[in-house]
């Protein structure tokens, strides 16, 4: 079995024998000395082979290797300040575990650039590229930070269904499937089931899972399949309680990744700075006046479009210095039936979006917990109250004020790392053109 040691950990084993396994990242044969860069998920280690100091068969074997061959190297760790990470390994034995075909369809070193479509087609080879792998190590740490914070704040994870029997938000942006001869759909968001869990007496829950949206969008911001983390909590005062939880969750995710992934951040040339809280709040109807002053007016009662949202984000950045802000109190006509209206001004809803660098990361707010109002709002939206009784009937039996949000993981990580296309933050992305690999 190989030693699971990162390059940094190898510094603690100078003079000791180790066994390392991985891929040939690069190789140079320079007459009397050869250099092999060995790569695995822990990083890249230099293996040096002075012809006079290693067995002849080892030197000759290494000279026959190609990029992406899988090898095992048994040798001694040496200190060398000029080497990568300040250490190198002098081998006593090198074994070939698996040979790679040549030429490669993709260069995991990144020396030969490849278009995104090629990198996604050969995703497994692309993931061998350290910069590509770094994205998912950061993503893993961010989500770990999110979960750690939520659990510490009293949330428990709820495993809600991915197959649903009806559409909760209207529209045609759902994937229809056959469920034992009945029509069913892949969920757009498990939100109604999170609410039913709160109705069931749980105080704080969160869902972490996959959602699907059959949206014919061909932009760098959209995926047909994406992951979200979605908390829901009972006994809130109003939608501002969801903002405070969301701010703290975001900070926890960034902080966890900064602590766990300094090498990945350095490789990606990203500064994991913590944003200041509280995040600014921009509310309707003031949004209409702001957009008018920016030369982008739109009628009251309508939702803000993406170009206007980016313009608004630039204004917030200029005035506050923050890349983050909450967009609050949307027109109730553009929000789903389950969002609570503002009692004193029902034209607007207690809804909240978190915007980061001009991109919507999350949507949520306070839910309507009063049975008669939910049923009324269902009718207002043109749905059949009878078709949604599976959801609304439990609300007859005492439900606390509650709220939450659904936060897009790939979108956040992509923009956090300065990645321009969210597909690069999805391990095997799905979009209207991509179903394989």
Question: In the structure encoding, which two tokens stand for residue 165, read together?
Answer: 């029997």
Where does the chain hold its CATH 3.30.930.10 domain(s)?
Answer: 125-156+216-425
Do 218 and 431 meet the contact criterion of CB atoms below 8 Å apart?
A: yes
Residues 6+ apart with CB under 8 A from 6: 42, 43
Query: Which residue's structure tokens are 């989500």?
Result: 143
- Range of lowest pLDDT (125-134, 202-211, 298-307, 409-418): 298-307
Res 175 pLDDT > 80 = yes
Residue 152 in 3-state DSSP?
helix
Q: What is the mean pLDDT of the chain?
A: 93
Residue ranges of E strands in 83-222: 87-98, 156-157, 163-164, 176-179, 182-186, 204-212
Between 157 and 41, name the one with better pLDDT. 157
Phi-psi region of 357 (alpha: psi -120 to 50; beta: other; left: phi over 0): left
Residues 6+ apart with CB under 8 A from 398: none
pLDDT at site 166: 75
Res 99 pLDDT > 80 = yes
Residue 284 in 3-state DSSP?
coil
Angle between helix 240-260 and 409-416 (nearest 10): 60
Q: What is the pLDDT averaged over residues 321-344?
A: 95
pLDDT at site 173: 84
Res 167 pLDDT > 70 = no
Res 268 pLDDT > 60 = yes
Question: pTM (2 decimals)?
Answer: 0.92
Distances, alpha carbon 155 to alpha carbons 63, 95, 143, 202, 232, in Å: 56, 49, 15, 9, 8
Buried/exposed 144-174: b ≥16 CB within 10 Å, e otherwise: ebbbebbeeeebeebebeeebeebbbeeeeb
Where does the chain hold its CATH 2.40.50.140 domain(s)?
Answer: 7-98
Q: What is the pLDDT averaged over residues 267-292?
A: 93
User: Model confidence over 209-227: pLDDT tens digits?
Assistant: 999 999 887 888 889 999 9
Buried/exposed 109-124: b ≥16 CB within 10 Å, e otherwise: beeeebeeeebbbbbe
* % residues pLDDT > 70 (the chain): 97
Res 297 pLDDT > 80 = yes
Question: In the structure encoding, which two tokens stand for residue 274, read together?
Answer: 């913590």
Q: How far apart are CA 430 and CA 157, in angstroms?
A: 26
Domain 7-98, classified CATH 2.40.50.140, yes or no = yes
Q: Which residues are paired to 95 by β-bridges?
A: 72
Phi, psi for residue 246 in degrees, rounded to 5 = -65, -40
- Range of lowest pLDDT (53-62, 77-86, 239-248, 353-362): 77-86
CATH topology (fold) of 125-156+216-425? BirA Bifunctional Protein; domain 2 (3.30.930)
Alpha helices in 41-165 (DSSP H): 56-63, 116-121, 123-126, 130-152
Res 6 pLDDT > 80 = no
Q: Beta-carbon neighbour count of residue 300 at 10 Å?
A: 12
Q: What is the pLDDT averaged over residues 146-152?
A: 98
Q: How far apart are CA 11 and CA 25, in angstroms?
A: 21
- Tell me the pLDDT band of 1, cut-offs 50, 70 and 90: low
């Amino acid at each position: 079995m190989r030693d699971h040691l990162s390059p940094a950990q190898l510094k603690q084993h100078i003079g000791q024998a180790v066994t390392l396994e991985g891929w040939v990242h690069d190789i140079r044969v320079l007459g009397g000395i050869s250099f092999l860069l060995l790569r695995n998920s822990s990083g890249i280690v230099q293996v040096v082979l002075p012809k006079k100091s290693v067995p002849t068969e080892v030197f000759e074997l290494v000279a026959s290797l190609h990029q992406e061959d899988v090898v095992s190297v048994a040798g001694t760790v040496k200190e060398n300040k000029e080497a990568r990470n300040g250490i190198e390994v002098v081998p006593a034995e090198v074994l070939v575990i698996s040979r790679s075909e040549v030429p490669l369809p993709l260069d995991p070193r990144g020396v030969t650039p490849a278009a995104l479509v090629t990198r996604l087609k050969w995703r497994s080879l692309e993931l061998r590229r350290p910069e590509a792998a770094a994205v998912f190590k950061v993503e893993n740490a961010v989500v770990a930070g999110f979960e750690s914070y939520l659990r510490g704040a009293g949330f428990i994870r709820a495993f809600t269904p991915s197959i649903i029997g009806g559409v909760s938000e209207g529209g045609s942006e759902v994937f229809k499937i056959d469920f034992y001869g009945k029509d069913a759909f892949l969920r757009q968001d498990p939100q109604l089931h999170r609410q039913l869990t709160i109705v069931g007496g749980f105080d704080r829950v969160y869902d972490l899972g996959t959602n699907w949206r059959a949206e014919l969008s061909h932009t760098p911001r959209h995926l047909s399949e994406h992951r979200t983390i979605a908390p829901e909590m009972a006994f809130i005062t109003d939608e501002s309680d969801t903002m405070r939880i969301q701010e703290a969750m975001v900070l926890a995710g960034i902080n966890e990744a900064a602590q766990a992934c300094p090498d990945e951040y350095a490789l990606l040339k990203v500064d994991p700075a913590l944003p200041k809280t509280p995040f600014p709040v921009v509310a309707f109807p003031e949004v209409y006046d702001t957009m008018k002053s920016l030369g982008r007016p739109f009628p009251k009662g309508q939702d803000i479009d993406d170009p206007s949202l980016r313009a608004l984000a630039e204004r917030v950045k200029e005035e506050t210095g923050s890349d983050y802000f909450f967009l609050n109190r949307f027109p109730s006509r553009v929000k789903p039936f389950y969002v609570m209206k503002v009692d004193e001004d029902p034209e607007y809803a207690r809804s909240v979006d978190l915007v980061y660098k001009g991109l919507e990361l999350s949507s949520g707010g306070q839910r309507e917990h009063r049975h008669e109002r939910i049923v009324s709002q269902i009718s207002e939206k043109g749905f059949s109250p009878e078709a949604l009784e599976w959801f609304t009937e439990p609300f007859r039996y005492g439900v606390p004020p509650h709220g939450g949000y659904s936060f897009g993981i790939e979108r956040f990580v992509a923009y956090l790392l300065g990645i321009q296309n969210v597909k690069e933050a999805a391990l095997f992305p799905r979009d209207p053109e991509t179903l394989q690999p």
